[in-house]
Amino acid sequence: MKERYRGKYSRANEDKYNVIFMYLPLSVLFWEVVFHIYMGYGIHFLFTICSFALAFGLGAVALLYFIPEKINVILTVVLSFIFMIVYDIEIICKNILQQYYQLFSAMDTAVNNHLTDYRMAILEAIGSNIIILIVNLLPIAAFFILLRFENFIIIRTLPIFLLVLGACVITHFAGYIGVRLNKNERLDTYKLYRSDVNIDDQVERFGVLAMQRLDAVHLIFGAGDDSLTDISSLDKISVLTEESTAVNDPETGSEDDISGKTAKTDKTIKASETDTTEARTTEEVIVYEDNVLDVDFSAITGDGNVTWLNEYFSKAVPTKKNKYTGMFKGYNVIFITAEGFSGYMIDKNVTPTLYKLTHQGFVFNNFYTALHYTSTTNGECQNLLGLYPKNGEPQTMTAVGTHRLCVPFTLANQLNRLGYTSKGYHFNWDMYNRALSHPIVGYEWNYSNTLTLEKYPGGKVIWPQSDKYMVDQTFDDYKDDEPFNVYYMTLSGHMPYTGGGNYQTGKNFESVEKLPYSNATKSYIAANLELEYAMEDLLNYLSAYGLLDKTLIVMAADHVPYFDVDVLEELAKNEFGTSEALRAINESSINFDVYRNSLIIWSASMESTVNINKVCCQVDILPTVSNLLGLPYDSRMLAGSDILSDSEGLVVFSSRSWKSDKGLYNSFTGEFMPTAKFSSEEEKNTYVEAMNILAGCKIDMTSKIVNSNYYKNIEPYITDTDSQP
């Protein structure tokens, strides 16, 4: 093939040139459209997606335009493979991690993670998506076919270059016009375009490469206002304070029922922090103080993030102290985040210890562990920070470590100020930069660099590690350090559970072989038996050393086993949707009860069971435990609420759908399905509007806290309120 530069050329050569000329634009358009069809997206945003895709392809042509022919061909092939691989990566990442990857801002996390831990899941994801991966090769195959023609000609002139460049600008501008004109009730499309959050929605509305472009731009120049909630509408949430739920104590006193009923009595008493455990009669209404710090928001200055947060926190309704405030003051604390755990697997005979811990003490009947952007690390974000994770990069917990953010309300940091010894354990490599984040959260962090991992006889490290082994290896490390605060991030329940991907499954399979379930479900239970054995050993160790009655045990999952919806359906005897939909967090086509789970807040010192029917979720754990320990914190500045307070229950899902004590709102359809009675349609609509604003604020606040390091402004208000246990 000879490269030809011609100012004048034949119509025949022009046609051949145009075929090659349009290769990259048409290829990118092909990948984008096929991707959206394969991922189940509709055509509502097709104009914008196609415009941005063509702009990318034309921009690539312009970039390579004056490079000599042979090098041009090589670079075109290389660039084609890069584009194709980006689409393939996003399919695999969404399949495994429920997220699309912002390749620029997430590069640090990807490099530091021990990706071989996911090798079985990666291979399984490639196998299950092999057809689309092959289809994505078609444009490149077509290019090689075109190269076989002897009269393949590249004709380059300045006018044609200007035409290419102009077409690139025009198609990009067309996409931008599509962004401005496209109206969507669930999320403002223009705000979404200017933000660095809600990456799934960016991919759906703008395309894969456009999302990556926005990521690069925001990484260099910063994002615009990342709030997708109109803060000017904040006054509308005041309607939510007009009718609150309350705690109803049955006269027997043997069992409490926190269910959203309103208790009315005759006598009013103001309760201070020191008298909340005093016995009360059913003829008393106790007016409790707000769980807040004396913060002067007008004295806190900063950028737009700080201004937004000041306004929201000053208007947010705080939760109140209650009869459980300080119930476990001075206790040791052991907090467990359980990898891939679902309470649907708990059985009185198969998992007696987990059954005991979930059916005694505080019993949470409507607890949810909803999936958000990135599974495990953002499950920890909710459990440890009491915040919904930022739906984008940098991941919230990673940002805490890399930016050394101030997080004074974490359980470890609160207890460390009181002289506790806080230690954390994870028998794995340094995933998600925990070596940086968890010391900032307040723990002396121990992982593979300081721990002796369990190995096969040949010396290879077992995957995944045993939770029982973890407890057995670490208990002596802290048992003499009272008061202690211990955090375990478990590992035995890590997917995949079949195909030899989980060593613990094979080890325990004989124990579950006769259960009336499929092999997949029995495999999942077998893997999690290590957690059952770990909790059994933990209780035995605490009892043997006289620590059981003065230790508070807290446990929640990081996320449900999203790879195995069939398993959850079999255990729950309910239909939830498909594993594909859950892996993609496509909440428009799943039953939200797939997120229903078990929360453990238990101490052997409790004399009666407390049943809680209020809707609650992971972000509620931190304020609830803080109140039980009598710790000073500001309930307005966390996304969650003390479950034992008189506040209304709420869980906000990734799609900004939500569930409260009064009903379920679906953000995709705009439909509200009430479970409570409203006096009128107007009252119901007002409530839904207010809850939408509140739910949006609870999601949006995290990125603003991270971006502005907001909590550093609160530290001076915390110091003076601390006291020894």
CA distance to 66, 101, 285, 322, 676, per residue, from 246 (Å): 73, 43, 10, 10, 15
Q: Is the pLDDT of residue 263 over 70?
A: no
pLDDT of residue 101: 80
Kindly tell me if the per-residue pLDDT of 545 is higher than 90. Answer: yes
Q: Are 179 and 190 contacting, i.e. CB atoms less than 8 angstroms apart? A: yes
pLDDT greater than 90 at residue 330: yes
Q: How high is the pLDDT of residue 297?
A: 95
**Residues 634-646 pLDDT 10s:** 999 999 999 999 9
In the chain the first and final C-alpha atoms are separated, in Å, by 83
- In the chain, % of residues over pLDDT 70: 86
Indicate the pTM of the whole model: 0.83
* pLDDT, position 270: 42
- pLDDT greater than 80 at residue 369: yes
- pLDDT tens digits for 76-128? 899 999 999 999 999 988 877 777 888 877 766 555 555 555 667 788 888 88
CA angle at residue 621 from 617 to 626, to 5 degrees? 155
Tens of pLDDT, residue by residue over 204-239, are: 999 999 999 998 888 888 776 656 677 777 888 877
Chain-centroid distance of CA 537 in Å reads 30
Rounded Cα distance between 62 and 81, Å, is 18
Q: Structure tokens of 572?
A: 């729950």
pLDDT of residue 241: 67
Top-confidence residue, 21 or 258: 21
**pLDDT, average across residues 699-717:** 94
Q: What is the mean pLDDT of the chain?
A: 86
Q: How far, in Å, CA of 614 to CA of 616, rounded?
A: 6
649: which 2 tokens? 């229950």
pLDDT over threshold 50, residue 314:
yes
Q: What would the pLDDT profile of 665-696 be if each residue is shown by its tens digit?
A: 999 889 999 999 999 999 999 999 999 999 99
pLDDT above 60 (res 153): no
Assess whether pLDDT exceeds 60 at residue 186: yes
Query: Does pLDDT of 272 surpass 70?
Result: no
pLDDT, position 99: 76
